[in-house]
């Protein structure tokens, strides 16, 4: 399998720019695909490495400099991602000060289709034992020290390694493989999180998948096999009856978060969560195992178009509460020395009504075997506010 | 009009180096002028973009990487700017931690002739509703995502766009045009601040124009048409009688700040503030409209030569108090969605006694129509300390 | 003497890469030596300048971007330095947020053989008069604005200038000269710290020399002429009887710090501190004057191999307590305007038993003239915990 190293800090390797086509790799020429790596210059993106993968049908951008997050994606005329107030990203972490604005500085770089939160902690800023923890942790703002591209018949993989380390605190290695197939409408993010310490380590990871217009619009819908549903706070409680339907942009409206346990297939734990447009003619689905990612949060930010009209579909190891809260509810993963936790999420783009309907059928099938419990207000052990 | 794009993040354009002369632009060759763009390397300036404009008489540096601030200027042998303790700037914002030293980290990059303060807030660090706000805000430490150069007969313009954005907080676009004419002794900074949000937005902007030696020296003088004058605190109160005269450097002396309302011409609001040397043979004047920038602060830092012997002439939307104080005194601009606030300041270098005298005459003319009220100590609604 | 400027911000000079051999410099060809300067790319080391010096016997790396720290060294097969949890350094200060984790963010870049701590303060985070001070100060995270290489017969010198400045706080210039001789087993770090302010200035500097495996191992030993020995806290008190002997890695064990005054030769103040391996067949010694660096801390971090199994031999102007504590015990240097404090530390690598034994003989000689006082627990004026 042809492999190409783009970054390898340990061996002082780094490619400023790089391009690969099937022809270069000696692989089947159809469907035509390409991978392009570039370094961005100027503005807040100065020094950011970007990898653009176009599998011939689905195109997406990987950002090694931002912890291997996914920036934007596109299938034909359908743009995935969102119109973030960040405006001129992707932002080099050198220009992100996580401690700004009372620990909310993470927002300064938040404009991605997929932003990972974690790995030592995610959730709102908090303080514990004199130590401060900032919004959604560090992983999105750590450049990958190793990046490689692998190409074989029917498979294109971008591999990246990121260290989230701090003496006396944490030492986690993330090895991500972002894979797609030429001509496919899906991409898969498979992450291995390994505790490199000689003592046990916390692990928290939340996959912040974000979708704005056009998929999100007045009347678009969230569809998933829900086992438990809890509104996070008063704003979410007020919108509970229509939690799965989107309104149009309403400037100044409060964000709403719904905490869920999704049901998975009995044997594999596989579940699927869908966002479809109003007409049901396009959508995106996330497929993953609830065994790896037992918690799911639905984030609805339905403010103005220019203020971040966006929804987050967020499979995770736990809920976005401060870690001490999650720890006491047993939702923080503990990794023994050298132990690895694997999580895999597949993004499927549904390009027509038939594809949407097929996903909905899968959801119905799983839901049929599961009672849906809806809590009318915030309730333990999911949320403290009541 | 020939235009040259130097940075355009949205279109992945960025010029590492660039030079333009009248000959290149097909314009009149005399007076000879040039614009040179370079990227700096090494030290804390690593990665900083700098644009040097020499109009044939007046030369100055624009720093796209530092929010389009002006670094230094020179007219013949007369250097404008100051000897900042920063020493080896201009400093890349990547090396500035605004949260350092209790929120005073902004000082680590402060060495400019013109440093804009704002845009969400300026003034000392403060906390409000659990959010921290650092000294003088963020705009000076945000790289411009768009930079262009325009040249036409009699006019050279450097244009820059900077986004100060943060989801849930602010989304302001600054479009600045810094203009001069070949052979001129002036430059004009014209800024448009637009609220990109769908909800109203605060705007605070203060133009921190800084001058050290040789213009500032023992016996140099500040001259302006003052309507109201208030010492900010005890140190300023002690120096009130000689507020408009400078002493020589006195190591360890406390900074003094005088808060003022300047009078403007009745029809246009245009005012003018002058700093002239002891002999009155050289000076700098700021011209602007009090309608756009109703507040003016005079900052006198008369410590040792090596500690920042400098004075700040600071037209602004308000006074450098914490924003909550300014808000309650109605001095924070509120921009409706898509609304734009424009501010324009012209720096005029007075190269001889005649030019100085001409400015003084203008000041006298405006002052003649305005009673000057001097408060003997800090007083509401200007300063809380009394 | 041939000199080569690699970085000179004031004159816009910077060399992306550079190599020098005796042949280039017109010097004796044997022993063969070389100096190589490169810029690193990718990961968290993106934008870091590194200078590799190989004197033919001893090789080491200087990091201009990290305040002229020493990254790693090697003598034949003997690696000096340590296996830091940072993993993929050297880390660009742009990616270090000193305010992270309650002011411990300095740890994010800590992976060096020699990390200087200071210069305004070192020690744990603290707050004083509303100002925050982060772990071990700023100097390790400030890029040098001037770097030069000097070569003459028998001497290779890397010179670097670093400004630690902040208006209203500090303005210190460090001029370091890191010198070695072709074929030598030693290198010398000579630093001049000058107060550039017009008022007196604090100075604190601690040389954090760090050694892990193979020199540090179960049974390796610390040998030095000790005048006073104080355990810093309870963990150190528990290990006091074996303070000078190392155990093997014990995951989860607490770090221990021993505060010492070393004895020096009567005339010069020269002292020597040794770390030798279990067999006494290899070691490293630090030579310096207790007149310049009167305090010495021994840091034993004997946790797991992957968590930073390392020891720090730390000559300093004082002990790593918060500065207010040190100030009140008269251990903060005060520099008058323009005054310079010089400190010089020589690292000697002992490549065999004979070299080790020679150093031990020196230690014995000094110790023979000095009573060793061992305090059984933390005691004033060294440590507050009792």
For residue B79, count CB atoms less than 10 angstroms from its CB and return exposed for 0-12, middle for 13-18, buried for 19 or more. middle
- DSSP, collapsed to helix, strand or coil, labels residue C109 as helix
pLDDT score at C267 = 93
Per-residue confidence band for B309, with pLDDT thresholds at 50, 70 and 90 = very high
Residue C134 near chain B (CB below 8 Å): yes
- DSSP, collapsed to helix, strand or coil, labels residue B119 as strand
Give the containing element (helix H, strand E) for A69: strand A69-75
Which of C40, C46, C91, C125 would you mutate first to test chain A, the one with the most A CBs within 10 A? C46
Report yes or no: A15 and A51 within 8 Å, Cβ to Cβ.
Answer: no
Q: Select from C47, C99, C249 the Cβ nearest to the Cβ of A99.
A: C99
Pairing of strands C146-152, B170-180: unpaired
- Dmax of chain A from CA atoms? 60
pLDDT score at C6 = 98
Q: List Cβ neighbours of B252 (8 Å cut-off, separation of 6 or more).
A: B303, B304, C198, C199
The predicted-structure confidence for A319-359, as pLDDT tens digits, reads as follows 999 999 999 999 999 999 999 999 999 999 999 999 999 99
Per-residue confidence band for B1, with pLDDT thresholds at 50, 70 and 90 = confident
Which residues in chain C have Cβ-Cβ distances shorter than 8 Å to A12?
Answer: 38, 40
d(CA C47, CA C50): 10
Which residues in chain A have Cβ-Cβ distances shorter than 8 Å to B126?
Answer: none
Report yes or no: C306 and C284 within 8 Å, Cβ to Cβ.
Answer: no
Q: What is the pLDDT along chain C (386 residues), one digit of tens a residue?
A: 789 999 999 999 999 999 999 999 999 999 999 999 999 999 999 999 999 999 999 999 999 999 999 999 999 999 999 999 999 999 999 999 999 999 999 999 999 999 999 999 999 999 999 999 999 999 999 999 999 999 999 999 999 999 999 999 999 999 999 999 999 999 999 999 999 999 999 999 999 999 999 999 999 999 999 999 999 999 999 999 999 999 999 999 999 999 999 999 999 999 999 999 999 999 999 999 999 999 999 999 999 999 999 999 999 999 999 999 999 999 999 999 999 999 999 999 999 999 999 999 999 999 999 999 999 999 999 998 65
Residue C307 near chain A (CB below 8 Å): yes
Does residue B67 surpass a pLDDT of 70? yes
Chain C residue with minimum CA distance to B46 = C47
Q: Do A132 and C102 touch (CB under 8 A)?
A: yes
Instruction: Quote the mean pLDDT of chain B.
Output: 97
The predicted-structure confidence for A137-173, as pLDDT tens digits, reads as follows 999 999 999 999 999 999 999 999 999 999 999 999 9
Q: Do B97 and C99 touch (CB under 8 A)?
A: yes
Other Cβ atoms within 10 Å of C58 Cβ, number: 26
Pairs of CB atoms within 8 A across A/B:
112
- DSSP, collapsed to helix, strand or coil, labels residue B322 as coil
Smallest CA–CA distance, residue C54 to chain B, in Å, is 23
The predicted-structure confidence for B334-358, as pLDDT tens digits, reads as follows 999 999 999 999 999 999 999 999 9
pTM of this structure: 0.97
Q: Do C167 and B107 touch (CB under 8 A)?
A: yes
Q: Which chains touch C (3 or more CB pairs under 8 A)?
A: A, B
pLDDT score at C1 = 77
pLDDT score at C55 = 98
Q: What is the pLDDT along chain A (386 residues), one digit of tens a residue?
A: 789 999 999 999 999 999 999 999 999 999 999 999 999 999 999 999 999 999 999 999 999 999 999 999 999 999 999 999 999 999 999 999 999 999 999 999 999 999 999 999 999 999 999 999 999 999 999 999 999 999 999 999 999 999 999 999 999 999 999 999 999 999 999 999 999 999 999 999 999 999 999 999 999 999 999 999 999 999 999 999 999 999 999 999 999 999 999 999 999 999 999 999 999 999 999 999 999 999 999 999 999 999 999 999 999 999 999 999 999 999 999 999 999 999 999 999 999 999 999 999 999 999 999 999 999 999 999 998 65
Please confirm whether the linkage preceding C90 is cis (ω < 30° from 0).
Answer: yes
Encoding tokens for residue A82? Answer: 């969102």
Whether complex ipTM tops 0.90: yes
Q: Do A107 and B168 touch (CB under 8 A)?
A: yes
Please identify among residues 57-96 of chain C the ones whose CB lies closer than 8 Å to any CB of chain B: 64-65, 93-94
Q: Do C307 and A98 touch (CB under 8 A)?
A: no
Q: Select from A95, A110, A252 the Cβ nearest to the Cβ of B94.
A: A95
Q: Do C143 and B303 touch (CB under 8 A)?
A: no
The predicted-structure confidence for B251-300, as pLDDT tens digits, reads as follows 999 999 999 999 999 999 999 999 999 999 999 999 999 999 999 999 99
Taking the alpha carbons at both ends of chain C, their separation in whole angstroms is 55
Q: Report residue C95 CA to chain centroid gap.
A: 21
Q: ∠C304-C310-C312 over CA atoms, to 5°?
A: 150
Q: List Cβ neighbours of A376 (8 Å cut-off, separation of 6 or more).
A: A231, A237, A240
Pairing of strands B283-289, B226-231: unpaired
Other Cβ atoms within 10 Å of C152 Cβ, number: 12
Smallest CA–CA distance, residue B305 to chain C, in Å, is 7
Other Cβ atoms within 10 Å of C372 Cβ, number: 12
Smallest CA–CA distance, residue A342 to chain C, in Å, is 21
Give the containing element (helix H, strand E) for A25: helix A22-25
Report yes or no: C138 and C120 within 8 Å, Cβ to Cβ.
Answer: yes
Q: Do B132 and A47 touch (CB under 8 A)?
A: no
d(CA C374, CA A87): 62
d(CA A169, CA A202): 10
Chain B residue with minimum CA distance to C12 = B40
pLDDT score at A243 = 98
Smallest CA–CA distance, residue A128 to chain C, in Å, is 9
- DSSP, collapsed to helix, strand or coil, labels residue B106 as helix
Q: Do A7 and C85 touch (CB under 8 A)?
A: no
pLDDT score at A118 = 98
Q: List Cβ neighbours of A212 (8 Å cut-off, separation of 6 or more).
A: A81, A82, A83, A308, A309, A310, A311
d(CA C83, CA C112): 9
Residue C235 near chain A (CB below 8 Å): no
State mean pLDDT over B167-184: 98
Q: Select from A47, A88, A92 the Cβ nearest to the Cβ of B145.
A: A88
Residue C40 near chain B (CB below 8 Å): no
pLDDT score at A1 = 77
Which residues in chain B have Cβ-Cβ distances shorter than 8 Å to A104?
Answer: 131, 166, 168
Smallest CA-to-CA distance from B112 within B43, B209, B193, B37 is with B209
Smallest CA–CA distance, residue C210 to chain A, in Å, is 14
CA-CA distances (angstroms) from residue B369 to B225, B263, B264, B265, B266?
A: 9, 9, 10, 9, 9
Report yes or no: B50 and B34 within 8 Å, Cβ to Cβ.
Answer: no
């Amino acid at each position: 399998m042809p492999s190409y190293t783009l970054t390898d800090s340990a061996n002082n390797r780094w490619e400023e720019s790089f391009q690969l086509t099937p022809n270069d790799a000696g692989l089947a020429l159809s469907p035509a695909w390409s991978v392009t790596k570039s370094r961005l210059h100027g503005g807040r993106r100065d020094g950011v490495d970007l990898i653009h993968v176009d599998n011939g049908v689905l195109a997406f951008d990987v950002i090694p400099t931002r912890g291997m997050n996914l920036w934007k994606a596109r299938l034909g005329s359908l743009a995935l991602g969102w119109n973030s107030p960040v405006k001129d990203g992707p932002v080099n972490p050198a220009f992100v000060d996580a401690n700004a604005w009372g620990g909310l500085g993470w927002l300064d770089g938040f404009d991605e289709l997929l932003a990972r939160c974690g790995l030592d902690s995610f959730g709102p800023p908090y303080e514990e034992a004199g130590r401060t923890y900032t919004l959604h942790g560090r992983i999105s703002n750590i450049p990958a020290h190793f990046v490689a591209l692998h190409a074989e018949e029917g498979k294109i993989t971008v591999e990246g390694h990121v260290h989230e380390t701090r003496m006396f605190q944490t030492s986690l290695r993330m090895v991500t493989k972002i894979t797609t197939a030429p001509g496919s409408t899906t991409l898969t993010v498979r992450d291995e999180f390994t505790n490199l310490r000689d003592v046990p380590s916390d692990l928290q990871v939340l996959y912040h998948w974000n979708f704005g217009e056009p998929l999100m619009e007045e009347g678009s819908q969230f569809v998933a096999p829900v086992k438990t549903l809890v509104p996070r706070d008063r704003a979410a409680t007020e919108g509970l009856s229509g939690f799965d339907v989107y309104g149009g942009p309403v400037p100044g409206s409060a964000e709403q978060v719904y905490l869920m346990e999704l049901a998975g297939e009995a044997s594999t734990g596989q579940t699927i969560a869908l966002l479809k447009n109003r007409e049901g003619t396009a959508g995106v689905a996330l497929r993953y195992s609830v065994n790896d990612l037992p918690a799911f949060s639905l984030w609805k930010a339905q403010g103005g178009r220019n203020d971040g009209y966006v929804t987050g579909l967020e499979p995770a190891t736990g809920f976005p509460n401060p870690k001490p809260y999650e720890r006491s509810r047993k939702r923080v993963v503990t990794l023994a020395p050298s132990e690895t936790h694997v999580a895999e999420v597949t993004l499927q783009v549904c390009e027509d009504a038939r594809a949407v309907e097929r996903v909905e059928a899968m959801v119905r099938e799983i839901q049929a075997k599961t009672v849906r419990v809806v809590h009318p207000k915030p309730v333990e052990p999911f949320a403290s506010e009541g």
